[in-house]
């Protein structure tokens, strides 16, 4: 299948799926809880003697760092993709 067709097909599927979901927060609750637990676990590994308040602060920064790293990787990928594609006239 052509990559563009696959992208369009996937986009159709995801929009249909979310259209059938009345409560998106409940649909993603398990994943959000697991992610929060992962950041808290890493914070406790880094600072085993820290208080719960300190762990929460460190976990929040770990989460922000994670998303910043993802944004950086995304920007690099977009730049690389743009360098390959000829500019639209």
For residues 54, 56, 60 and 62, what is the CA-based torsion angle, rounded to 10 degrees? 70
Distance from C-alpha of 23 to C-alpha of 44, rounded to nearest angstrom: 32
Distance from C-alpha of 71 to C-alpha of 58, rounded to nearest angstrom: 20
- Looking at residues 39-53, what average pLDDT do you find? 97
Number of H helices, E strands in the chain: 3, 0
- pLDDT tens, residue by residue, 5-21: 999 999 999 999 999 99
pLDDT above 80: residue 87: no
């Amino acid at each position: 299948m052509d990559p563009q067709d696959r992208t369009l097909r996937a986009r159709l599927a995801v929009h249909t799926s979310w259209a059938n979901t009345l409560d998106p927060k409940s649909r993603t609750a398990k994943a959000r809880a697991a992610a929060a637990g992962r950041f808290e676990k890493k914070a406790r590994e880094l600072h085993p003697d820290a208080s719960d308040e300190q762990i929460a602060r460190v976990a929040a920064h770990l989460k922000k760092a994670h998303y910043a790293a993802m944004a950086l990787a995304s920007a690099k990928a977009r730049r690389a993709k743009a360098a390959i594609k000829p500019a639209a006239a």
